[in-house]
């Protein structure tokens, strides 16, 4: 980060801080009143918020985080998942199995479905993991279908909330496995998925899905040429992915945000390697210590505390 200058005027300072804010930090609070917060869905603890690209996201009162970055919920789906995952190119080559971990309002899956062409010969089959059913119900009421969409997003969400979606492109299918992803992932076939999207809340609030142990479970269901995408660029996440046996690189930044992370089973699938200073940090400093959850039952607090204790041990 470039340090803010003492002579910056109030407005300049605010712009500077917004520029430097990462997706994760914004997710943790509406610091500058960006986005219009509206009344919560009755009893759901979810507040709708408009992002800069006009798409709506939610504020989750339990996690105290937004579901998406301020730049745009749809934009984030495209730029952090669909584009770096080369979804369209992959679909041109053949059938695709996509695992969408943390379905939420469904933008990542919906954008993937939207990318399938009606006249395409290959098929897209999506398996999504999500533990909070009410968010899909609330999304079905609040998300907007745009004129350029190839199917009715609202209708699809409403159908998924009730059971199986049928109003989607004919070459595609989607189903949601409800429950804790640490458990539901064990129900999936091994070496089955070509592409994995991992979109949990931040590491400080949702560390259950950022552990070496969960990454190993993800790796087990991925084909040998599959890749995993996430918006998260945290050092313990990247080091955890490396320990789980992935080759790890970056994805291009969107707008003013930092790039995300791409984890691949083969070195040749990494286009943007991690910078040397980050690799050194991972190998030589306690910042590189990953999150651990050996039996898949620890709470967020237990996972964070365990890592903190290991950091203290290393420093003694």
* Sites of contact with ligand SAM (CB under 6 A): 67, 77, 102, 104-108, 129-132, 135, 180-182, 199-201, 206, 208-209
Q: Measured from the CB of residue 2, what is the shortest distance to ligand SAM in angstroms?
A: 29
Please give the structure tokens belonging to residue 153: 């997003």
Q: Measured from the CB of residue 155, what is the shortest distance to ligand SAM in angstroms?
A: 17
Q: Measured from the CB of residue 8, what is the shortest distance to ligand SAM in angstroms?
A: 32
Q: Which residue's C-beta sits nearest to ligand SAM?
A: 104
Q: Measured from the CB of residue 202, what is the shortest distance to ligand SAM in angstroms?
A: 8
Please give the structure tokens belonging to residue 67: 């579901």
Of residues 104 and 290, the one with the C-beta less far from ligand SAM: 104
Of residues 106 and 288, the one with the C-beta less far from ligand SAM: 106
Of residues 218 and 274, the one with the C-beta less far from ligand SAM: 218
Of residues 182 and 292, the one with the C-beta less far from ligand SAM: 182
Q: How far apart are CA 240 and CA 148, in angstroms?
A: 39
Of residues 135 and 227, the one with the C-beta less far from ligand SAM: 135
Q: Measured from the CB of residue 169, what is the shortest distance to ligand SAM in angstroms?
A: 18
Cα 167 to Cα 70, 109, 151, 172: the distances in Å are 29, 14, 7, 10
Of residues 87 and 129, the one with the C-beta less far from ligand SAM: 129
Of residues 230 and 239, the one with the C-beta less far from ligand SAM: 230
Q: Measured from the CB of residue 30, what is the shortest distance to ligand SAM in angstroms?
A: 15
Q: Measured from the CB of residue 193, what is the shortest distance to ligand SAM in angstroms?
A: 16
Distance of CA 284 to the CA centre of its chain: 27
């Amino acid at each position: 980060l470039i340090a803010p200058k003492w002579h910056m005027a109030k407005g300049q300072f605010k712009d500077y801080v917004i520029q430097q804010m990462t997706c994760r930090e914004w997710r943790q609070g509406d610091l500058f009143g960006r986005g219009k917060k509206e009344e919560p869905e009755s009893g759901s603890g979810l507040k709708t918020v408009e992002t800069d690209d006009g798409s709506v996201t939610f504020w989750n009162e339990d996690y105290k985080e937004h579901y998406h970055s301020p730049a745009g919920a749809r934009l984030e789906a495209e730029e952090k998942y669909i584009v770096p995952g080369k979804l369209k190119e992959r679909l041109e080559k053949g059938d695709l199995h996509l695992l969408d971990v943390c379905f939420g309002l469904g933008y990542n899956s919906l954008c993937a479905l939207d990318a399938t062409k009606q006249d395409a010969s290959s098929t897209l089959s999506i398996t999504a993991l999500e533990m909070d059913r009410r968010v899909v119900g609330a999304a079905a009421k609040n998300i907007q279908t745009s004129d350029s969409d190839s199917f009715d997003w609202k209708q699809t969400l409403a159908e998924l909330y009730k059971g199986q979606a049928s109003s989607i492109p004919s070459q595609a299918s989607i189903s949601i496995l409800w429950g804790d992803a640490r458990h539901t992932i064990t129900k999936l076939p091994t070496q089955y998925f070509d592409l994995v999207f991992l979109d949990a809340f931040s590491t400080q609030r949702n560390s259950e899905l950022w552990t070496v142990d969960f990454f190993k479970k993800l790796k087990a269901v991925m084909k040998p040429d599959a890749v995993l995408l996430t918006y998260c660029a945290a050092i313990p996440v990247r080091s955890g992915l490396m320990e789980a046996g992935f080759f790890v690189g970056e994805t291009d930044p969107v707008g003013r945000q930092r790039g995300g992370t791409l984890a691949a089973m083969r070195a040749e699938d990494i286009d943007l390697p991690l910078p040397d200073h980050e690799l050194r940090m991972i190998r030589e400093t306690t910042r590189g210590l990953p999150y651990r959850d050996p039996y898949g039952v620890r709470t967020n607090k237990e996972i964070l505390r365990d890592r903190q204790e290991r950091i203290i041990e290393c420093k003694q």
